[in-house]
Structure 1
Amino acid sequence: MELIFHVVWVCFLVVLAEAQSSREGPCFEFPGDSFIHFTPNVFDNNNDIHYTLHFRTTHENGILLYARGQDGDDEALYTRNGKLRYHLFNTSPTGIEGYFGAFLEGDETVNIGQWVKVQVYRSWKHIEPPQRRVKRKTGFEVEIEGVVYKHFDYLERRDISLLPTIYIGGYRESLSSTVHNFTGQIKNIYEEKNAYLFENPSLNYMSKVSLACLDSVEPS
């Protein structure tokens, strides 16, 4: 029985890898003073989520992905000082008991002018094959030149409520005095739970984001 489980698990991983490799979306070029956002007709952005995207930049600071809720919850993937950061603010249901947030940061330099792949997990179900234990991971893994670096925690988080408007490359107001809108390229943006490929933005702020990428990125 154990052997059958492992065979099925390996087959699942192979199929999953092939499916993920085919999820190629458009490439967006960001000038550093604009952003795009998507408002899918049907998109559940509450609780668990799993994003995948590729980005390329030589700039140290910039917002890659941002979403927020009506009751104070918000989520951001961004670079600061050339390192990747993930922020989640999750208020309690009544707002009295505090919050169940997350802040994870990578040590790897990502503003290298080459494509970097990131997978973002929020309370995402994770099954460990040997013990078959189900846990929920939050954080990100980043692939740089074929090497994968993982930054997760497995704390329990509930009642995460975010609006289904996903901002890419920035936001309509400043989120930080040091982290600004993104300069560079972002492509192949996909969300696993909703099986949604981000292709047609609902808003391209001041029409400054190009829907095609240059062969190189602007030097910082």
Structure 2
Amino acid sequence: MMGKVGSNLCRGRFSMQVDLMLLFPFLCDQPIRSVSFLKGGYIELPPRSLSPESEFLATFATTNSSGIILAALSKHGEKEGHRQAHGPFFSIMLIEGHVEVHVDSGDGTGLRRALLRAPTGTFGDGQGHSISLIRSGRIITVQLDEKTPVEMKLGPAVESMTINVSNLYIGGVPEDAGSSMLRMRRSFHGCIRNLIFNMELLDFTSAVGSEQVDLDTCLLSERSKLALHGEDGKLLPEPQPLPSPVKTEYFKRKGFIMVDGQESPMVTIVGDGTTLDVEGKLYLGGLPSDYRARNIGNVSSVFCMGLILLWLCLFNRGTPVSAFAVARCYAEAQEGTFFEGSGYAALVKEGYKVRSDVNITLEFRTSSENGVLLGISSAKVDAIGLEMVNGKLLFHVNNGAGRITATYEPKATNTLCDGKWHTLQANKSKHRVVLIVDGNAVLAESPHTQSTSVDTNNPIYVGGYPADVKQNCLSSQRSFRGCLRKLTLSKGLQVQSYDFSRAFDLQGVVPHSCPGAEP
């Protein structure tokens, strides 16, 4: 990620000490991103409605088994007979160690509920846990700690409708709010921080109301004279200190770097100079491909910044000059490239010629039943396409005389959507196609044996494609959500492997980083 720092910070002769954490007051006007709930209570922020394309993320830590994390409520409904009617709402709650997400769109179809069970028995283990809620039309996807996501489907009437709310509560609700909407009303006890809504990092200083909260801290318990006790009387651990800043210091001709509190040996700079004369831009995480640095050599690596708040802050408070392939960091990662379900990778800008024969291989991992895997299409009818539709894998080919399709349907439902790695091979040989999934082969053949060539000279789109690009052999525009790796396209003995980080257009894709471990 690249961001621009005012030239007054870098101009002229000076001696400097740089602590990255000290950049926050200058870049962000000292916003508050964390809040501790130690005596019950809540904090109310300006309302945020759930539009058809929206995303919410947060981090929480607690040693209690139950508590409200978030409650977005509409105004109280009116009594209808003996029941209380209510408007649309959505909530995230920790209930008996597990997380429940409730969504009611207000269309009369009732409550939608997602349950995310803790693999260790409880999410109230005192550790930090991240939760994301992503809405795409009728589909709401909830994920905890990069584990297998859970999907909810709203009613068809709300495909493009915003779920409007009037109040956004964090950590709990007032006594007179949400009585007919919330299954549980117990306040959260612990720390909630880094609330992100549609890529905006929320600031708790914008609160419109609060009760019994401690801003700008992240504690799990209160210190008493004798011991630390939770609401249920159990002994709680000492509050954990925040990690030391990732820090570097330079003075005259000497410098050192400190990581996680460990100092490197002091280094003396060669030469007689005692100042740094620099002016220009601040680059974080890498350098542009066309940038040539004189004194630091080649830079080619994938870097995950622990100071994730820094780039979020730059995006929100000081717009960067440019950014490329910037995304999230993951606590657990494995080989592969993550497709977020909203974009694509575009390869071979000069165009790929399919012609009469091609063999495609890749490995994929997903928990979604639908999504585009790969497409190459001419402006006419010639094209090939790989996609998942309702848990089935389809390989389409059109040589110009009509589409033929090889369809692989697993014996057990959702076999291909289990979050595990699966192998795929799609082979086109003249008018015949073969699709092999996990060693199981299906065949298809065109009756037009004289039509053998797919005449393309177009880019390869993986995981999805832009709205203005035509794809004649794909039935869906829904982008793939999951991980892909080991993509190759071969003709005879010529095998070409593709590196997604070298795509000429990359949207919603994280190269070389597949979140989480295989279930």
TM-score when scaled to structure 2? 0.30
Partner of 1:77: 386
Q: Are 2:497 and 1:197 aligned?
A: yes
Gap runs ≥5 in structure 2: 1-334
Match 1:123 to one of 429, 440, 447? 429
Partner of 1:185: 483
| Percent of aligned pairs with the same amino acid | 23
Counterpart CA distance in 2 for 1:45 and 1:35 is 20
Which residues in structure 2 correspond to 1:24-173 (within 5 Å)? 27-39=336-348, 43-91=352-400, 99-108=401-410, 109-123=415-429, 137-143=432-438, 148-155=439-446, 156=449, 157-173=451-467
Counterpart CA distance in 1 for 2:485 and 2:504 is 16
CA shift digits 1:23-42 (9 cap, x unpaired): xxx72100100100101668
Partner of 1:130: none
Work out whether residues 77 and 85 of structure 1, in 8 Å CA contact, stay in contact via their aligned partners in 2: yes
Q: Are 2:516 and 1:215 aligned?
A: yes
CA shift digits 1:130-179 (9 cap, x unpaired): xxxxxx74131001xxxx11011354341321224111000112867865
Two-structure CA RMSD over aligned residues (Å)? 2.5
SS at match of 1:110: helix
SS at match of 2:408: strand
Gap runs ≥5 in structure 1: 1-25, 92-98, 125-135
CA shift digits 1:102-138 (9 cap, x unpaired): 11211113111110000011116xxxxxxxxxxx741
Q: Give the AA of the match of 2:370.
A: N
Counterpart CA distance in 2 for 1:183 and 1:48 is 29
Counterpart CA distance in 2 for 1:177 and 1:171 is 12
Work out whether residues 36 and 169 of structure 1, in 8 Å CA contact, stay in contact via their aligned partners in 2: yes
> What number of residue pairs does the alignment pair up?
169
Counterpart CA distance in 1 for 2:349 and 2:457 is 11
Q: Call closer, same or farther: CA 1:43–1:73 in 2, change over 3 Å.
A: closer
Counterpart CA distance in 2 for 1:160 and 1:31 is 30
Counterpart CA distance in 1 for 2:466 and 2:490 is 26
Q: Give the AA of the match of 1:50.
A: N
Counterpart CA distance in 2 for 1:185 and 1:117 is 12
Counterpart CA distance in 2 for 1:46 and 1:213 is 33
Counterpart CA distance in 1 for 2:425 and 2:444 is 14
Deviation, structure 1 residue 90: 2.6
Partner of 2:312: none
Q: Give the AA of the match of 1:149.
A: N
Work out whether residues 79 and 179 of structure 1, in 8 Å CA contact, stay in contact via their aligned partners in 2: no
Structure whose CA Rg is larger: 2
